[in-house]
Amino acid sequence: MGISMGYASPLNGFSTLQVCKVYVMWNCDTCPSTNIPMPVVKNPSTNFLGYTDFPNFVPFNAVGLTSLICATIATEESTWGKVKALYGE
């Protein structure tokens, strides 16, 4: 589809910058599959993934990364008291 975002105040794009956060909620007891990739790719219409500077609006290329959703996470058995102790009283 392609998504464009704008901000009222310019942001510093010369260091790591989180532009968008995607939340996924699975309504199941167990996932049908694990480690499903969710890549950030170029806009299919413009073949561009990037940003522009302010105030000149010169386009710069950006790097899209891939996250894994519903990944298998190792756990260990514990008691409820030990879990609560992690967060204080």
Give per-10-residue mean pLDDT for the chain (89 aa).
68 72 62 74 85 83 81 72 78
Do 70 and 25 form a contact (C-beta atoms < 8 A)? Answer: no
Q: Minimal CA–CA distance to 69: which of 27, 2, 22, 29? A: 22
Instruction: Report pLDDT for 73.
Output: 60
Pairing of strands 50-52, 66-69: unpaired
Instruction: Report pLDDT for 65.
Output: 84
Instruction: Report pLDDT for 33.
Output: 67
Instruction: Report pLDDT for 88.
Output: 72
Phi/psi of residue 37, each to 5°?
Answer: -75, 140
> Can you give the pTM of this predicted structure?
0.44
Instruction: Report pLDDT for 24.
Output: 62
Do 49 and 19 form a contact (C-beta atoms < 8 A)? Answer: no
Which residues, including other chains, have CB under 8 Å from residue 61's CB and lie 6 or more apart?
Answer: 48, 49, 50
